[in-house]
Amino acid sequence: MNRHKNFIFHAALWLLIWATAWIFSGSDLQFAGENGMALIFQILVIAILIYYTIPQLLLKKKYVAFTLVSIVTILVITLILTRLLPDSMAGIEGEMGRLPGPGARPGPRPRFEDGQSLLGNPRPPSRFFINLLLIAIAYVIATLVEIFLFAKRKEEEIIINKNEALQTELKLLKSQINPHFLFNALNNIYALSAIDSGRTQKSISYLSDMLRYVLYECEQEIVPLYKEIDYIENYIKLFSLKSSKTYPITTSFSIENQNVQIVPMLLIPFLENALKHSNIEKVTGTFINLKINATENSIDFELENSKPEFKVIKDDVGGIGIENVKKRLAILYPNRHQLTINETSQAFKVNLKLELNG
């Protein structure tokens, strides 16, 4: 289909060029008669180029064959055109060779110092040469245009394929996030069920709200920041219901506009990691400090948690969250994020800065 469109484009282009030339010639019918056949053969050679030489030779990287076939095609078309058209330049030649009529007073002909005439006997270019020039120009211009259009199409295909690959990777990353979240949440509810059935009901309510966010809101590319913060708060509430103890978890949210947009489920893996590895259940000597500052143009997320003296092994599932976030940041906020992770023997600190108007 693209070939048909390209052929129509080239044919219309040369029709426009010849129509413009005809108008500037004073709409002379003789001009149309002499050059109409040349236009037809230009369109013919373009058709050969578009339907055969480019798709069968050039695009298959048969460059030598393309060059040879192109030269032969141009020469054959030029020979046929020249045979069909009379040499109209002969009349002009005759006119230039006539002597002045009686009574005319020709001036002195300019000469070289040795006495030879400067004018001599000039010959106009042959009809074959003119036809060759017309056919070759049309062929070369059409080739350059086709190469440009092909390169543009390939670039668009690369962009489309890249976007599809990124979307596929994002879906895979999301599929990692949701089961990981559900696994942790169900573990918390299971632990709570052995302590207090009333709290278990609350935790199920929190989990219901969180699942609604994960299953419906997270299908969108971006969500309002306040929904992400609600999810974080519900997650902390769900975790805190595991015990009657008050966990040393502090949160600080400074939001200029709660409807500022963010990619969903981007921040929670850091909190999951902190809750899992800070040994916060011990309460004494542990802490988690969470801060989110947001303006119209940026989001600054900061999370710091304590580290136990000896590494606590909770379960075999882990390490998905942080790496997942790094991949998502690279895809969704390229050159618009700064992730800093500092780790000491006493604490683990994450600082994430997002530029929203990239």
Are residues 54 and 150 located together in one domain of the fold?
yes
Categorize the per-residue pLDDT at 89 as very low, low, confident or very high, splitting at 50, 70 and 90.
Answer: very low
Q: In this structure, are residues 185 and 240 in contact, taking their beta carbons and an 8 Å threshold?
A: no
Are residues 132 and 277 located together in one domain of the fold?
no
Are residues 6 and 147 located together in one domain of the fold?
yes
Are residues 151 and 294 located together in one domain of the fold?
no
Domain ranges, residue 28: 2-89+125-157
Q: Which residues contact 11 (CB under 8 A, 6 or more apart)?
A: 43, 46
pTM: 0.54
pLDDT at position 33 over 80: no
Per-residue confidence (pLDDT) for residue 354, from 0 to 100: 95
The dihedral of CA 99, 104, 108, 114: what is its sign?
positive
- Per the model's pLDDT, the better-predicted residue between 184 and 122 turns out to be 184
Across 117-131, 158-172, 261-275, the highest mean pLDDT is recorded for 261-275
Are residues 66 and 208 located together in one domain of the fold?
no
Say how many domains are in the chain.
2
- Per the model's pLDDT, the better-predicted residue between 351 and 114 turns out to be 351
Per-residue confidence (pLDDT) for residue 350, from 0 to 100: 95
Q: At 340, is the secondary structure helix, strand, or coil?
A: strand
Are residues 231 and 328 located together in one domain of the fold?
yes
Q: In this structure, are residues 184 and 236 in contact, taking their beta carbons and an 8 Å threshold?
A: no
Per-residue confidence (pLDDT) for residue 287, from 0 to 100: 93
> 47: which 2 tokens?
């058709």
Whether residue 344 is contained in a domain is answered as: yes
Whether residue 76 is contained in a domain is answered as: yes
Are residues 151 and 41 located together in one domain of the fold?
yes
Whether residue 168 is contained in a domain is answered as: no
Amino acid occupying residue 236? I
Alpha-carbon span 61 to 53, nearest angstrom: 11
pLDDT at position 81 over 60: yes
pLDDT at position 96 over 60: no
pLDDT at position 178 over 80: no
Whether residue 104 is contained in a domain is answered as: no
Are residues 286 and 152 located together in one domain of the fold?
no
Angle at 244 between CA 239 and CA 249, to 5 degrees: 50
The CATH number for 307's domain is 3.30.565.10
Amino acid occupying residue 329? L
How much is the mean pLDDT over the chain?
Answer: 79
Q: Which residues contact 332 (CB under 8 A, 6 or more apart)?
A: 170, 263, 266
Are residues 141 and 211 located together in one domain of the fold?
no
Count of residues in the chain? 358
**pLDDT tens, residue by residue, 218-236:** 778 889 999 999 999 988 9
Are residues 72 and 152 located together in one domain of the fold?
yes
Average of per-residue pLDDT across 93-116:
46
Are residues 152 and 220 located together in one domain of the fold?
no
What does the buried/exposed string (b/e) look like for 177-188 if buried means 16 or more CB atoms within 10 Å of the residue's CB? Answer: beebbeebbeeb
